A and B are shown apart, each in its own frame.
Chain A
Amino acid sequence: MKDIKVLGTGCANCRSTVDLIETVAKARGVPITLEKIEDLPAIVAYGVMSTPGVVIDGQVVHAGGVPTCSKVESWF
Protein backbone atom coordinates (compact mmCIF):
# COMPACT_ATOMS: atom_id res chain seq x y z
CA MET A 1 0.00 0.00 0.00
CA LYS A 2 1.54 3.28 -1.10
CA ASP A 3 0.63 6.41 0.79
CA ILE A 4 0.41 9.28 -1.68
CA LYS A 5 -0.25 12.92 -0.93
CA VAL A 6 -0.82 15.63 -3.51
CA LEU A 7 0.11 19.09 -2.25
CA GLY A 8 -1.71 22.01 -3.79
CA THR A 9 -3.97 24.92 -3.07
CA GLY A 10 -6.77 23.75 -5.32
CA CYS A 11 -5.78 24.98 -8.75
CA ALA A 12 -6.64 23.09 -11.93
CA ASN A 13 -3.15 21.57 -12.14
CA CYS A 14 -3.55 19.98 -8.71
CA ARG A 15 -6.82 18.31 -9.69
CA SER A 16 -5.34 16.93 -12.90
CA THR A 17 -2.40 15.58 -10.90
CA VAL A 18 -4.76 13.73 -8.56
CA ASP A 19 -6.72 12.32 -11.50
CA LEU A 20 -3.56 11.24 -13.29
CA ILE A 21 -2.18 9.38 -10.26
CA GLU A 22 -5.52 7.66 -9.70
CA THR A 23 -5.73 6.54 -13.31
CA VAL A 24 -2.17 5.24 -13.49
CA ALA A 25 -2.40 3.43 -10.14
CA LYS A 26 -5.64 1.77 -11.18
CA ALA A 27 -4.20 0.76 -14.56
CA ARG A 28 -1.18 -0.77 -12.84
CA GLY A 29 -3.27 -2.39 -10.14
CA VAL A 30 -1.22 -0.79 -7.37
CA PRO A 31 -3.16 -0.18 -4.16
CA ILE A 32 -2.77 3.38 -2.92
CA THR A 33 -4.21 5.80 -0.44
CA LEU A 34 -4.50 9.19 -2.07
CA GLU A 35 -4.84 12.32 -0.03
CA LYS A 36 -5.01 15.92 -1.12
CA ILE A 37 -3.36 18.48 1.13
CA GLU A 38 -4.59 22.04 0.70
CA ASP A 39 -3.49 23.44 4.05
CA LEU A 40 -0.71 25.94 3.34
CA PRO A 41 1.37 25.42 6.50
CA ALA A 42 1.31 21.66 5.81
CA ILE A 43 2.39 22.16 2.17
CA VAL A 44 5.18 24.49 3.21
CA ALA A 45 6.33 22.01 5.87
CA TYR A 46 7.28 19.60 3.05
CA GLY A 47 9.62 22.23 1.66
CA VAL A 48 7.74 22.38 -1.63
CA MET A 49 7.98 25.77 -3.36
CA SER A 50 5.90 25.17 -6.45
CA THR A 51 2.65 23.29 -6.50
CA PRO A 52 1.36 20.75 -7.24
CA GLY A 53 3.80 18.62 -5.30
CA VAL A 54 3.64 14.85 -4.85
CA VAL A 55 4.69 13.03 -1.68
CA ILE A 56 5.02 9.22 -1.62
CA ASP A 57 5.47 7.56 1.77
CA GLY A 58 6.68 10.84 3.27
CA GLN A 59 9.19 11.57 0.48
CA VAL A 60 8.73 14.53 -1.91
CA VAL A 61 9.11 13.05 -5.39
CA HIS A 62 7.79 15.87 -7.51
CA ALA A 63 7.14 19.62 -7.39
CA GLY A 64 5.89 22.18 -9.87
CA GLY A 65 3.37 21.41 -12.58
CA VAL A 66 1.50 18.27 -13.53
CA PRO A 67 3.97 15.36 -13.65
CA THR A 68 4.37 13.57 -16.96
CA CYS A 69 2.61 10.26 -17.47
CA SER A 70 5.91 8.36 -17.65
CA LYS A 71 7.09 9.96 -14.42
CA VAL A 72 3.93 8.85 -12.61
CA GLU A 73 4.34 5.34 -14.03
CA SER A 74 7.88 5.19 -12.68
CA TRP A 75 6.51 5.60 -9.14
CA PHE A 76 4.54 2.35 -9.31
Chain B
Amino acid sequence: MNTLSLDSSPRGRLARWLLAIVIATSAWLFAYSQLTTFADWLLNALTLSRQTAVGEALHFFFYDTPKVLLLLTGIVFVMGIVQTFFSPERTRALLSGKRQGIGNVLAATLGIVTPFCSCSAVPLFIGFLSAGVPLGVTFSFLISAPMVNEVALALLFGMFGWKVAALYLGLGLLVAIVGGLVIGKMHMERHLEDWVQKIQAGQASHPVRDGIGWVGRFEAGTAHVREIVGKVWPYILAGIAVGAAIHGYVPEDFMASIMGRDAWWAVPVAVLLGVPMYTNAAGVIPIVEALIGKGAALGTVLAFMMSVIALSAPEMIILRKALKPRLIATFAGIVAAGILLVGYLFNLVL
Protein backbone atom coordinates (compact mmCIF):
# COMPACT_ATOMS: atom_id res chain seq x y z
CA MET B 1 0.00 0.00 0.00
CA ASN B 2 2.84 2.30 0.89
CA THR B 3 4.54 2.12 -2.52
CA LEU B 4 1.22 2.55 -4.25
CA SER B 5 0.50 5.86 -2.55
CA LEU B 6 4.08 6.99 -3.20
CA ASP B 7 3.83 6.15 -6.89
CA SER B 8 0.64 8.02 -7.53
CA SER B 9 1.78 11.22 -5.83
CA PRO B 10 2.59 14.03 -8.28
CA ARG B 11 6.25 14.03 -7.24
CA GLY B 12 6.51 10.28 -7.77
CA ARG B 13 4.98 10.57 -11.21
CA LEU B 14 7.32 13.37 -12.21
CA ALA B 15 10.32 11.38 -10.99
CA ARG B 16 9.22 8.35 -12.99
CA TRP B 17 8.78 10.50 -16.08
CA LEU B 18 12.25 12.00 -15.72
CA LEU B 19 13.77 8.55 -15.25
CA ALA B 20 11.95 7.21 -18.32
CA ILE B 21 13.13 10.20 -20.37
CA VAL B 22 16.76 9.70 -19.32
CA ILE B 23 16.58 6.00 -20.26
CA ALA B 24 14.79 6.69 -23.54
CA THR B 25 17.29 9.41 -24.49
CA SER B 26 20.26 7.10 -23.85
CA ALA B 27 18.64 4.32 -25.89
CA TRP B 28 17.89 6.83 -28.65
CA LEU B 29 21.48 8.11 -28.77
CA PHE B 30 22.87 4.57 -28.81
CA ALA B 31 20.51 3.48 -31.61
CA TYR B 32 21.34 6.61 -33.62
CA SER B 33 25.07 5.90 -33.38
CA GLN B 34 24.60 2.35 -34.70
CA LEU B 35 22.65 3.15 -37.90
CA THR B 36 25.33 2.21 -40.44
CA THR B 37 26.35 -0.88 -38.49
CA PHE B 38 22.73 -1.98 -38.41
CA ALA B 39 22.19 -1.48 -42.17
CA ASP B 40 25.48 -3.26 -43.02
CA TRP B 41 24.61 -6.14 -40.72
CA LEU B 42 21.13 -6.56 -42.16
CA LEU B 43 22.47 -6.50 -45.72
CA ASN B 44 25.08 -9.13 -44.81
CA ALA B 45 22.41 -11.27 -43.21
CA LEU B 46 20.56 -11.21 -46.52
CA THR B 47 23.84 -12.12 -48.29
CA LEU B 48 23.59 -9.06 -50.52
CA SER B 49 26.30 -6.66 -51.54
CA ARG B 50 26.15 -2.89 -51.95
CA GLN B 51 27.76 -3.34 -55.37
CA THR B 52 24.45 -4.50 -56.83
CA ALA B 53 21.49 -2.19 -57.50
CA VAL B 54 19.18 -4.19 -55.28
CA GLY B 55 21.76 -4.23 -52.48
CA GLU B 56 22.34 -0.48 -52.72
CA ALA B 57 18.59 0.19 -52.73
CA LEU B 58 18.00 -2.05 -49.71
CA HIS B 59 20.93 -0.53 -47.83
CA PHE B 60 19.39 2.91 -48.39
CA PHE B 61 16.10 1.58 -47.04
CA PHE B 62 17.64 -0.16 -44.00
CA TYR B 63 19.70 2.90 -43.13
CA ASP B 64 17.14 5.61 -43.73
CA THR B 65 14.07 4.01 -42.17
CA PRO B 66 15.38 3.74 -38.59
CA LYS B 67 17.22 7.06 -38.95
CA VAL B 68 14.14 8.97 -40.06
CA LEU B 69 11.87 7.29 -37.52
CA LEU B 70 14.33 7.99 -34.68
CA LEU B 71 14.75 11.65 -35.64
CA LEU B 72 11.05 12.10 -36.10
CA THR B 73 10.15 10.52 -32.76
CA GLY B 74 12.71 12.63 -30.92
CA ILE B 75 11.76 15.95 -32.47
CA VAL B 76 8.02 15.31 -32.35
CA PHE B 77 8.26 14.50 -28.63
CA VAL B 78 10.15 17.71 -27.92
CA MET B 79 7.75 19.73 -30.05
CA GLY B 80 4.79 18.15 -28.28
CA ILE B 81 6.17 19.58 -25.05
CA VAL B 82 6.98 22.98 -26.60
CA GLN B 83 3.47 23.23 -28.02
CA THR B 84 1.94 23.00 -24.54
CA PHE B 85 3.39 26.48 -23.98
CA PHE B 86 1.77 27.84 -27.16
CA SER B 87 -1.93 27.10 -27.37
CA PRO B 88 -3.77 28.73 -30.28
CA GLU B 89 -5.51 30.94 -27.70
CA ARG B 90 -2.20 32.16 -26.33
CA THR B 91 -0.80 32.82 -29.81
CA ARG B 92 -3.93 34.75 -30.67
CA ALA B 93 -3.56 36.86 -27.53
CA LEU B 94 0.06 37.58 -28.46
CA LEU B 95 -0.92 38.65 -31.97
CA SER B 96 -4.07 40.65 -31.37
CA GLY B 97 -3.62 44.35 -31.91
CA LYS B 98 -0.17 43.92 -33.43
CA ARG B 99 0.64 46.19 -36.35
CA GLN B 100 1.53 45.03 -39.85
CA GLY B 101 5.22 44.29 -40.09
CA ILE B 102 6.14 43.30 -36.55
CA GLY B 103 2.87 41.36 -36.40
CA ASN B 104 3.75 39.41 -39.55
CA VAL B 105 7.18 38.49 -38.23
CA LEU B 106 5.71 37.37 -34.92
CA ALA B 107 2.88 35.44 -36.60
CA ALA B 108 5.22 33.55 -38.93
CA THR B 109 7.51 32.67 -36.00
CA LEU B 110 4.64 31.54 -33.77
CA GLY B 111 3.45 29.41 -36.71
CA ILE B 112 6.40 27.09 -36.05
CA VAL B 113 5.55 26.33 -32.43
CA THR B 114 1.75 26.59 -32.31
CA PRO B 115 -0.06 23.29 -32.82
CA PHE B 116 -1.82 23.40 -36.16
CA CYS B 117 -3.86 20.98 -38.20
CA SER B 118 -5.24 21.94 -41.59
CA CYS B 119 -8.64 20.55 -40.53
CA SER B 120 -9.00 23.39 -38.03
CA ALA B 121 -7.55 26.04 -40.35
CA VAL B 122 -10.90 27.84 -40.68
CA PRO B 123 -11.86 28.03 -36.98
CA LEU B 124 -8.34 29.24 -36.24
CA PHE B 125 -8.43 31.77 -39.06
CA ILE B 126 -11.71 33.21 -37.79
CA GLY B 127 -10.62 33.03 -34.17
CA PHE B 128 -7.64 35.24 -35.06
CA LEU B 129 -9.68 37.75 -37.06
CA SER B 130 -12.36 38.03 -34.38
CA ALA B 131 -9.71 38.92 -31.80
CA GLY B 132 -8.50 41.82 -33.92
CA VAL B 133 -5.51 40.15 -35.58
CA PRO B 134 -5.15 41.89 -38.99
CA LEU B 135 -5.88 39.80 -42.09
CA GLY B 136 -2.31 39.97 -43.41
CA VAL B 137 -0.88 38.90 -40.05
CA THR B 138 -3.33 35.99 -39.92
CA PHE B 139 -2.15 34.91 -43.35
CA SER B 140 1.49 35.03 -42.27
CA PHE B 141 0.55 32.51 -39.59
CA LEU B 142 -1.50 30.42 -42.00
CA ILE B 143 1.37 30.17 -44.50
CA SER B 144 4.07 29.46 -41.94
CA ALA B 145 2.23 26.95 -39.73
CA PRO B 146 1.96 24.06 -42.21
CA MET B 147 5.13 24.83 -44.21
CA VAL B 148 7.71 25.48 -41.50
CA ASN B 149 6.87 22.57 -39.24
CA GLU B 150 8.97 20.41 -36.97
CA VAL B 151 8.61 17.32 -39.14
CA ALA B 152 10.05 19.06 -42.22
CA LEU B 153 12.85 20.66 -40.21
CA ALA B 154 13.74 17.41 -38.42
CA LEU B 155 13.98 15.48 -41.65
CA LEU B 156 15.92 18.16 -43.52
CA PHE B 157 18.33 18.39 -40.62
CA GLY B 158 18.78 14.62 -40.53
CA MET B 159 19.30 14.19 -44.25
CA PHE B 160 21.05 17.35 -45.41
CA GLY B 161 22.51 18.84 -42.25
CA TRP B 162 21.76 21.99 -40.31
CA LYS B 163 22.62 24.46 -43.09
CA VAL B 164 19.86 23.27 -45.39
CA ALA B 165 17.41 23.04 -42.47
CA ALA B 166 18.29 26.60 -41.42
CA LEU B 167 17.92 27.88 -44.99
CA TYR B 168 14.54 26.20 -45.28
CA LEU B 169 13.50 27.72 -41.95
CA GLY B 170 14.67 31.19 -42.92
CA LEU B 171 13.22 31.20 -46.42
CA GLY B 172 9.96 29.59 -45.27
CA LEU B 173 9.55 32.35 -42.69
CA LEU B 174 10.41 34.94 -45.34
CA VAL B 175 7.71 33.63 -47.70
CA ALA B 176 5.20 33.70 -44.82
CA ILE B 177 6.14 37.21 -43.67
CA VAL B 178 6.24 38.80 -47.13
CA GLY B 179 3.16 36.89 -48.33
CA GLY B 180 1.16 38.11 -45.31
CA LEU B 181 2.43 41.66 -45.75
CA VAL B 182 1.38 41.74 -49.40
CA ILE B 183 -2.08 40.32 -48.65
CA GLY B 184 -2.44 42.89 -45.84
CA LYS B 185 -1.53 45.76 -48.18
CA MET B 186 -4.14 44.62 -50.69
CA HIS B 187 -6.98 45.14 -48.16
CA MET B 188 -8.94 42.09 -49.15
CA GLU B 189 -11.23 41.98 -46.12
CA ARG B 190 -14.31 42.17 -48.32
CA HIS B 191 -13.26 38.95 -50.04
CA LEU B 192 -14.00 36.99 -46.91
CA GLU B 193 -17.25 35.03 -47.07
CA ASP B 194 -20.22 37.02 -45.76
CA TRP B 195 -20.75 34.88 -42.66
CA VAL B 196 -17.13 35.47 -41.69
CA GLN B 197 -17.45 39.24 -42.08
CA LYS B 198 -20.45 39.20 -39.74
CA ILE B 199 -18.62 37.25 -37.05
CA GLN B 200 -15.69 39.64 -37.09
CA ALA B 201 -17.74 42.27 -35.30
CA GLY B 202 -18.55 40.21 -32.22
CA GLN B 203 -16.02 38.65 -29.90
CA ALA B 204 -16.50 34.97 -29.25
CA SER B 205 -16.02 33.26 -25.90
CA HIS B 206 -12.78 31.59 -24.92
CA PRO B 207 -12.71 28.01 -23.80
CA VAL B 208 -10.86 27.72 -20.51
CA ARG B 209 -7.54 25.92 -20.61
CA ASP B 210 -6.79 23.98 -17.49
CA GLY B 211 -3.43 24.50 -15.82
CA ILE B 212 -0.88 21.93 -16.93
CA GLY B 213 2.14 20.69 -14.96
CA TRP B 214 5.30 19.07 -16.26
CA VAL B 215 3.73 15.62 -16.06
CA GLY B 216 0.96 16.92 -18.29
CA ARG B 217 3.53 18.37 -20.71
CA PHE B 218 5.40 15.05 -20.93
CA GLU B 219 2.10 13.26 -21.50
CA ALA B 220 1.34 15.76 -24.27
CA GLY B 221 4.74 14.92 -25.78
CA THR B 222 4.01 11.20 -25.93
CA ALA B 223 0.49 11.85 -27.18
CA HIS B 224 1.99 14.01 -29.94
CA VAL B 225 4.38 11.19 -30.89
CA ARG B 226 1.51 8.69 -31.01
CA GLU B 227 -0.55 11.06 -33.12
CA ILE B 228 2.09 12.27 -35.59
CA VAL B 229 4.42 9.29 -35.88
CA GLY B 230 1.43 6.94 -35.76
CA LYS B 231 -0.07 8.80 -38.68
CA VAL B 232 2.93 9.47 -40.90
CA TRP B 233 4.97 6.28 -40.66
CA PRO B 234 3.30 4.61 -43.66
CA TYR B 235 4.11 7.72 -45.75
CA ILE B 236 7.66 7.62 -44.53
CA LEU B 237 8.07 3.96 -45.44
CA ALA B 238 6.53 4.58 -48.86
CA GLY B 239 8.70 7.66 -49.34
CA ILE B 240 11.87 5.83 -48.35
CA ALA B 241 10.93 2.88 -50.58
CA VAL B 242 10.54 5.20 -53.58
CA GLY B 243 13.72 6.98 -52.55
CA ALA B 244 15.54 3.64 -52.28
CA ALA B 245 14.38 2.58 -55.76
CA ILE B 246 15.61 5.89 -57.22
CA HIS B 247 18.84 5.52 -55.29
CA GLY B 248 19.53 2.00 -56.52
CA TYR B 249 18.18 2.00 -60.05
CA VAL B 250 18.25 5.51 -61.50
CA PRO B 251 21.60 6.21 -63.15
CA GLU B 252 23.93 8.78 -61.60
CA ASP B 253 23.33 12.35 -62.85
CA PHE B 254 20.15 11.27 -64.60
CA MET B 255 18.25 14.03 -62.82
CA ALA B 256 20.83 16.68 -63.65
CA SER B 257 19.35 17.19 -67.12
CA ILE B 258 15.71 17.27 -65.96
CA MET B 259 15.92 18.86 -62.54
CA GLY B 260 19.40 20.35 -62.60
CA ARG B 261 20.10 24.01 -62.00
CA ASP B 262 20.54 24.77 -65.70
CA ALA B 263 16.95 23.89 -66.52
CA TRP B 264 15.26 27.24 -65.81
CA TRP B 265 11.77 25.81 -66.23
CA ALA B 266 12.36 23.09 -63.64
CA VAL B 267 11.40 25.26 -60.65
CA PRO B 268 7.94 26.35 -61.92
CA VAL B 269 7.19 22.82 -63.10
CA ALA B 270 8.14 21.48 -59.66
CA VAL B 271 5.82 23.99 -57.97
CA LEU B 272 2.91 23.14 -60.31
CA LEU B 273 3.44 19.43 -59.80
CA GLY B 274 3.32 19.92 -56.05
CA VAL B 275 -0.14 21.53 -55.89
CA PRO B 276 -2.42 18.54 -56.53
CA MET B 277 -0.17 16.28 -54.48
CA TYR B 278 -1.06 16.05 -50.85
CA THR B 279 1.26 14.38 -48.45
CA ASN B 280 3.26 15.58 -45.52
CA ALA B 281 6.90 16.47 -45.26
CA ALA B 282 7.60 12.97 -43.99
CA GLY B 283 6.64 11.33 -47.25
CA VAL B 284 8.37 13.80 -49.58
CA ILE B 285 11.75 14.25 -47.97
CA PRO B 286 13.15 10.73 -48.54
CA ILE B 287 12.27 11.13 -52.23
CA VAL B 288 13.85 14.56 -52.21
CA GLU B 289 17.07 13.15 -50.79
CA ALA B 290 17.28 10.45 -53.46
CA LEU B 291 16.57 12.95 -56.28
CA ILE B 292 19.32 15.24 -55.05
CA GLY B 293 21.69 12.29 -54.92
CA LYS B 294 21.06 11.83 -58.63
CA GLY B 295 21.94 15.39 -59.56
CA ALA B 296 18.68 17.28 -59.10
CA ALA B 297 19.23 20.86 -57.93
CA LEU B 298 18.43 21.49 -54.27
CA GLY B 299 16.36 24.62 -54.97
CA THR B 300 14.16 22.84 -57.47
CA VAL B 301 13.52 19.95 -55.14
CA LEU B 302 12.87 22.16 -52.12
CA ALA B 303 10.42 24.26 -54.16
CA PHE B 304 8.62 21.03 -54.99
CA MET B 305 8.55 20.09 -51.33
CA MET B 306 7.28 23.49 -50.16
CA SER B 307 4.62 23.41 -52.84
CA VAL B 308 3.43 19.95 -51.83
CA ILE B 309 3.13 21.00 -48.20
CA ALA B 310 1.99 24.63 -48.37
CA LEU B 311 -0.14 24.68 -51.52
CA SER B 312 -2.24 21.60 -51.07
CA ALA B 313 -5.55 21.39 -52.87
CA PRO B 314 -7.43 19.91 -49.87
CA GLU B 315 -6.46 22.84 -47.66
CA MET B 316 -7.65 25.26 -50.35
CA ILE B 317 -11.01 23.47 -50.37
CA ILE B 318 -11.28 23.82 -46.59
CA LEU B 319 -10.33 27.51 -46.73
CA ARG B 320 -12.83 28.10 -49.53
CA LYS B 321 -15.57 27.87 -46.87
CA ALA B 322 -14.33 31.13 -45.37
CA LEU B 323 -12.60 32.89 -48.27
CA LYS B 324 -14.03 34.01 -51.58
CA PRO B 325 -12.29 32.75 -54.75
CA ARG B 326 -10.39 36.00 -55.34
CA LEU B 327 -8.74 35.80 -51.91
CA ILE B 328 -7.93 32.09 -52.30
CA ALA B 329 -6.37 32.78 -55.70
CA THR B 330 -4.37 35.70 -54.29
CA PHE B 331 -3.19 33.58 -51.37
CA ALA B 332 -2.16 30.70 -53.67
CA GLY B 333 -0.54 33.08 -56.17
CA ILE B 334 1.54 34.90 -53.59
CA VAL B 335 2.70 31.72 -51.88
CA ALA B 336 3.55 30.15 -55.26
CA ALA B 337 5.54 33.24 -56.25
CA GLY B 338 7.39 33.11 -52.94
CA ILE B 339 8.24 29.44 -53.39
CA LEU B 340 9.46 30.10 -56.95
CA LEU B 341 11.76 32.77 -55.64
CA VAL B 342 13.08 30.45 -52.94
CA GLY B 343 13.73 27.74 -55.53
CA TYR B 344 15.72 30.04 -57.82
CA LEU B 345 17.57 31.56 -54.86
CA PHE B 346 18.62 28.14 -53.56
CA ASN B 347 19.82 27.09 -57.02
CA LEU B 348 21.77 30.31 -57.32
CA VAL B 349 23.41 30.19 -53.88
CA LEU B 350 24.23 26.50 -53.54
Question: In the bound complex, do residue B123 and residue A68 qualify as a contact, i.e. CB atoms below 8 Å apart?
Answer: no
B-contact bits for A1-35, CB 8 A (1 contact / 0 none): 00000001111011000000000000000000000
Question: What's the Cα separation between A53 and B207 when bound, in Å?
Answer: 9
Q: Is B204 an interface residue (CB 8 A)?
A: yes
Bound CA–CA A10/B92 (angstroms) = 24
Residues of B within 8 A of A46 (CB): 204-205, 207
Residues of the B chain whose Cβ atoms lie less than 8 Å from the Cβ of A43:
123
Residues of A within 8 A of B204 (CB): 44-47
Chain B 192-244 interface residues, beta-carbon cutoff 8 Å to A: 195, 199, 204-208, 219, 223, 227
Contact B223 A68 (CB under 8 A): yes
CA distance A45 to B321 in the complex (A): 15
Asked, given contacts A40-B322, A60-B207, A63-B207, whether A49 binds B199 with beta carbons under 8 Å apart, the answer is: no
Question: Chain B residues with Cβ under 8 A from A60's Cβ?
Answer: 205, 207-208
State in angstroms the CA–CA spacing of A35 and B126 once bound together: 23
Chain A residues with CB below 8 A from B322, complex form: 40
Q: Closest CB of chain A to B212's CB: distance in Å? A: 11
Assess the A65–B223 pair: CB atoms within 8 A.
Answer: yes
CA distance A65 to B227 in the complex (A): 9
Distance, CA A55 to CA B227, complexed state (A): 23
Known contacts A9-B318, A50-B120: A44-B127 contact under CB 8 Å: yes
Q: Taking CB as reference atom, which chain B residue is nearest A11?
A: B119
A14 to B130, CA, bound (A): 24
Spell out B's residues near A (CB within 8 Å): 87-89, 92, 115, 117, 119-120, 122-124, 126-128, 130, 195, 199, 204-208, 219, 223, 227, 318, 321-322
19 residue pairs A–B, Cβ–Cβ below 8 Å? A9-B119, A9-B122, A13-B119, A40-B122, A40-B322, A44-B130, A44-B199, A46-B205, A46-B207, A47-B205, A49-B89, A49-B123, A49-B127, A49-B128, A51-B117, A60-B207, A60-B208, A66-B227, A68-B219
Interface positions of A (Cβ within 8 A of B) = 8-11, 13-14, 40-41, 43-51, 53, 60-66, 68
Query: With contacts A44-B130, A45-B199 known, what are 15 further pairs, Cβ within 8 A?
Result: A11-B119, A40-B122, A40-B123, A40-B322, A41-B195, A44-B122, A44-B204, A46-B205, A47-B204, A48-B127, A49-B92, A49-B128, A50-B123, A64-B115, A65-B227
- Top 3 nearest A-B pairs by Cβ distance? A47-B204, A49-B127, A60-B207
